Amino acid sequence: MPDFRLEKDSLGEIKVPKNAYWGAQTQRAVENFPVSSIRFPEVFIRSLAYIKLACAKVNGDSLLLDKRLSHAIIRACEEIIAGRFNDQFPLDIFQTGSGTSTNMNANEVIAARANEMITGKKNSKSPVHPNDHVNMGQSSNDVIPTAIHVSAYIQVKELFIPSMEFLFQTLTHTKKKYKKTVKTGRTHLMDAMPITLEQEMSGWATQVEYSIGRIKDTLPRLAELAIGGTAVGTGVNTQPDFGKRVSKRLSELTNIQFREAKNHFEAQSAQDAIAELSGQLKTCATSLMKISNDLRWMNSGPMAGLAEIRLPSLQPGSSIMPGKVNPVIPEAMRMVCAQVMGNDTVIAIANASGDFQLNVMLPVIAHSIIQSITILAHASRLLAERAIKGFEVNEGHMTELILRNPIIATVLNPLIGYDKAAEVVKKALRDKKSVKQVVVEMGYLDEKEADKLLNPAKMTKAGFSE
């Protein structure tokens, strides 16, 4: 028996793997685009199935689609949503710019499975036809932009926001333990005035908090869906209220308040909401890279670095140097952040490349935004669980360094002036003495005054001058 079957479309016959649920148009795309082996992620396929299910319900309720066919389409979509047919979506993201190949992939798989339910045979076009029935009232040009918005919103809601909130909570909880831990502040990577570790970590926590807020601010635009615009935004070949009714069904299916796009011409010709979301993800990535870099510096050593903290030992760090342990989680986070920044550039270029009534870089936009959301969410949770939660503080070392640090002479400025304070610093460095010793030797303060003034813990409080 041959391991293929013949399928036919408007271009003629083509061989399709015998056990595949997809049809001729999907097979042509398989053969035309062997580019990267990068596939659409599961959340995008799930979102496509949500859209097809919602459309079948609306068309069935309107009596435009036979109830028997509508019911079979809905059941097939439910199976795809459950993850049963993930292997039936083989297409590369680098394909036709509208994503037509992937829309037809969904139409063909759903039709074949619906027909199998009705007839017991995996027929590709009868009684359920992929275009006439599964794709009724739709176009790739409104389906794929809708799927991008739906999948991105789902991923933000289900994965990104919970992960970032977990990171925020972890930082907030951990920093409270270090309210009295005083360390050397640093500007320009050079010693600066003392701060507490809690103060330092509060900066990180606020960065994360603001990142969550920025992403949430984009969601109202992300909730607008292109469905109902069909080919060019005019809604040709569909019901006037189709977009509104499908959006309502999608809201019920996903528990997300979607709505029909305010303007279908904007919704199909551009992906501005995704570009906005990507820009906020990039901002978040820059914050997380800064936090990760701080952790790496603070962990550096153990002998020749800052050695302020010890990150959890997760794996051997060298194939040649015994006992070496590296800050692997912050390193992974930095790579994730770099990828997110790169994805934002891809999305910006792709969004700017819309032509008249359609953006024709939709698949790479879909891949890039979902990857950014996903990897940033996973890495944020790892940073919380495997770096911040378990790090140890080398308090004795930090205290020793702060007491030896001449920069604390800054608090002398209001009493003896900047120039004399600078003399104290230079002499302390030259003679390898503490500021307290030098300021007393030079007669600027007596020992009691020096003890009271040169207290690093007091210097961490706003308004301290004595």
Domain at 4-136, CATH class:
mainly alpha
Name the β-bridge partners of 143: none
* Interval 42-50 mean pLDDT: 98
CATH placement of domain 406-456: 1.10.40.30
Instruction: Please count the other Cβ atoms lying within 10 Å of the Cβ belonging to residue 286.
Output: 14
Q: Which of 188, 211, 287, 397 is catalytic?
A: 188
pLDDT given at position 360? 97
Where exactly are the structural domains of the chain? 4-136, 142-396, 406-456
- Residue 173 known to be catalytic: no
The first and second tokens of residue 163, run together, are 């992960």
| pLDDT more than 90, % of the chain | 95
**Average pLDDT along the chain:** 96
* Interval 51-67 mean pLDDT: 98
Whole-angstrom distance, CA of residue 323 vs CA of residue 320 = 9
CATH placement of domain 142-396: 1.20.200.10
Q: What is the pLDDT of residues 319-345, one digit of tens each?
A: 999 999 999 999 999 999 999 999 999
Instruction: Decide if pLDDT at 464 tops 70.
Output: no
Whole-angstrom distance, CA of residue 284 vs CA of residue 288 = 6
- Residue 367 known to be catalytic: no
- Contact (Cβ atoms closer than 8 angstroms) between residue 267 and residue 261: yes
* Interval 344-353 mean pLDDT: 97
Half-sphere exposure of 327 (CA within 13 A, CB side): 26
pLDDT given at position 268? 98
Q: What is the pLDDT of residues 271-287, one digit of tens each?
A: 999 999 999 999 999 99
Confidence (pTM): 0.95
* Interval 357-366 mean pLDDT: 98
pLDDT given at position 466? 43
Instruction: Decide if pLDDT at 433 tops 70.
Output: yes
Q: Which of 126, 318, 353, 465 is catalytic?
A: 318
